[in-house]
């Protein structure tokens, strides 16, 4: 087993000083060609690579980005990570990824763990529990410490930092508009509990589109579901108690599940009832029929977030100007709506 070689060892071996070795490898003009060649040959032979920890300590930068997300087995979030990776890699940054499992405590712990010099900045989507508690002190603290932070998707106004979101409201609006234009009258909304920032925006878009088109808002047409409850009974009851001709779902799974429920009831999609979901993931793509969706462009969000963060990290001045970038959502026409 050949251990990692250091400058010191090279220096001793070649009987020069450590600084000479360092300078030679950096192609400094201070070192003669002969010495340089000798040192470089030896370094190459012994496969020398500078220790990145030592560099981090010296330069006070780690070239690591802390990415904190609520869930990883999740199409949208993994897409965002991919986007972050793509951009970060071109800039020489690595990703330290922590999953909070939607827990407030884990979010706090992970942030504290990384804020001690392990990373140059954070990219984070707020966990459900944190949104519920509405407590963002841990985030304020890192910004106060001067650690750059970019929030994406699940954001809050409480914290002054860069943000990347999609136009959830507009996305929902466009979806409902399409359903209305197709002649649908009873348009339902499948959503999650109302304290989630994204659901809230989508809910707003839904209502706005209805109002703008002279529809009345019927609260009976709005069904709140729980992520973790896999029981379809509430969905069945919802569709049993009233006639519905179109559905907007704030995510993929509710949409797919509802589609199955109505299909089992013998309805045809999209002839009898139309569906539009959020998130253009695998589920939507492989659904039968292919679900029409509002694409959130997770990849682009990730890239945007990474770009904003790295810009902040590498800029000298401490400007306190924060931007919020809005990624445009797109309606992807599948076969669950009439096109």
Partner DNA sequence: TATCAACACTCAAACGGTTTCGTAGCATTT
Partner DNA sequence: AAATGCTACGAAACCGTTTGAGTGTTGATA
Q: Does 54 bind its own copies (CB under 8 A)?
A: yes
| Nearest-5° Cα angle at 100, 172 to 121 | 90
Applying CB under 7 A, among 30, 137, 144, 181 the residue interacting with DNA is: 30
Task: Check residue 34 for interaction with DNA (CB under 7 A).
Answer: yes
Q: Nearest distance from residue 46's CB to its own copies, in Å?
A: 12
Site string for DNA, 46-65 (x = CB under 7 A): --xxxx-xxx-xx-x-----
- Contact with DNA (CB under 7 A): which of 12, 26, 82, 133? 26
Tell which one of 22, 61, 143, 208 touches DNA (CB under 7 A).
22
CB of 47 to DNA, least distance (A): 11
* CB-based contacts of 151, cutoff 8 Å, min separation 6: 124, 125, 126, 139, 159, 161, 162, 163, 164
Please, what is the angle between helix 33-45 and helix 7-14, to 10°? 120
Question: Helices 298-314 and 75-90 meet at what angle, rounded to 10?
Answer: 40
Site string for its own copies, 253-292 (x = CB under 8 A): x--xx--x--x------------------xx--xxx----
Choose the one of DNA, its own copies, none that binds residue 19, judging by a C-beta under 5 to 8 angstroms depending on kind. Answer: DNA
Closest CA relative to residue 267, chosen from 236, 228, 297: 236
Give which of 339, 191, 337, 181 is closest to 273, Cα–Cα. 337
Q: How far apart are CA 34 and CA 47, in angstroms?
A: 20
User: Of 20, 64, 296, 336, which lies in the binding site for its own copies, with binding defined by CB under 8 A?
Assistant: 64
Q: If binding means CB under 7 A, how many residues of this protein chain bind DNA?
A: 29
Q: Is 156 in the site for its own copies (CB under 8 A)?
A: no
The residue among 37 and 105 lying less far from DNA, judged by its C-beta, is: 37
The answer to whether the CB of 303 falls within 8 A of the CB of 123 is no
Give the single-character DSSP code of 318. -
Burial class (CB within 10 angstroms; exposed 0-12, middle 13-18, buried 19+) of 290:
middle
Which of 134, 145, 157, 214 binds its own copies (CB under 8 A)? It is 145
**Does residue 250 belong to the site contacting its own copies (CB under 8 A)?**
no
Interface residues for its own copies in 159-198 (CB under 8 A)? none
Residue 65 CB coordination number (10 Å): 28
CB of 13 to DNA, least distance (A): 12
CA dist., res. 65 & res. 149, Å (int): 10
Q: Minimum CB separation from its own copies for residue 289, in Å?
A: 10
CB within 8 Å of 242: residues ≥ 6 apart: 186, 220, 221
Token pair, residue 335, equals: 């076969």
Restricting to residues 75-114, name those near its own copies by CB under 8 A.
75, 78-79, 81-82, 85, 94-99, 112-114
Asked if 319 touches its own copies (CB under 8 A), the answer is no
Nearer to DNA, 19 or 220 (CB): 19
Q: Taking CB within 5 to 8 Å according to partner kind, which of its own copies, DNA, none is near residue 257?
A: its own copies
Stretch that binds DNA, among 1-9, 90-98, 247-255, 269-277 (CB under 7 A): 1-9
Q: CA 204, CA 222: separation in Å to the nearest integer?
A: 12
Q: Is 52 in the site for its own copies (CB under 8 A)?
A: yes
Beta strand extents in 88-209 (DSSP E only): 94-99, 121-124, 149-152, 162-166, 187-191
Residues that bind DNA in the complex, under the rule CB under 7 A = 4, 6-8, 15-20, 22-23, 25-26, 30-32, 34-35, 48-51, 53-55, 57-58, 60
């Amino acid at each position: 087993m050949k251990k990692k070689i250091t400058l010191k060892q090279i220096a001793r071996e070649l009987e020069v000083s450590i600084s000479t070795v360092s300078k030679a490898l950096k192609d400094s003009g201070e070192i003669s060609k002969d010495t340089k060649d000798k040192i470089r040959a030896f370094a190459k032979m012994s496969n020398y690579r500078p220790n990145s920890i030592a560099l981090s300590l010296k330069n006070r930068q780690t070239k690591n980005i802390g990415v904190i997300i609520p869930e990883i087995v999740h199409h949208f979030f993994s897409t965002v990570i991919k986007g972050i990776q793509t951009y970060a890699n071109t800039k020489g940054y690595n990703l330290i990824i922590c999953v909070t499992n939607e827990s407030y405590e884990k979010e706090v712990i992970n942030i504290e763990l990384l804020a001690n010099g392990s990373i140059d900045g954070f990219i984070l989507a707020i966990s459900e529990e944190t949104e519920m508690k509405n407590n963002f002190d841990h985030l304020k603290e890192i910004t106060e410490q001067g650690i750059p932070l970019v929030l994406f998707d699940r954001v809050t106004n409480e914290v002054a930092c860069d943000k990347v979101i999609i136009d959830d409201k507009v996305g929902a609006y466009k979806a409902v508009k399409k359903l209305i234009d197709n002649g649908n009258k009873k348009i339902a909304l499948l959503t999650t509990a109302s304290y989630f920032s994204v659901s809230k925006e989508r809910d707003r878009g839904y209502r706005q589109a209805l109002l703008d088109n002279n529809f009345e808002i019927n609260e009976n047409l709005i069904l709140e579901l729980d992520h973790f409850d896999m029981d379809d009974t509430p969905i069945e009851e919802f569709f049993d108690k009233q006639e519905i001709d179109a559905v907007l779902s704030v995510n993929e799974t509710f949409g797919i599940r509802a589609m199955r429920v109505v299909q089992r009831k013998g309805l045809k999609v999209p002839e009898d009832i139309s569906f539009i979901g959020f998130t253009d993931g695998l589920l939507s793509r492989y659904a039968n029929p292919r679900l029409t969706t509002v694409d959130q462009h997770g990849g682009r969000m990730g890239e945007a977030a990474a770009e904003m963060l790295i810009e902040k990290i590498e800029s000298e001045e401490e400007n306190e100007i924060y931007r919020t970038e809005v990624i445009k959502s797109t309606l992807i026409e599948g076969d669950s709506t009439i096109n």
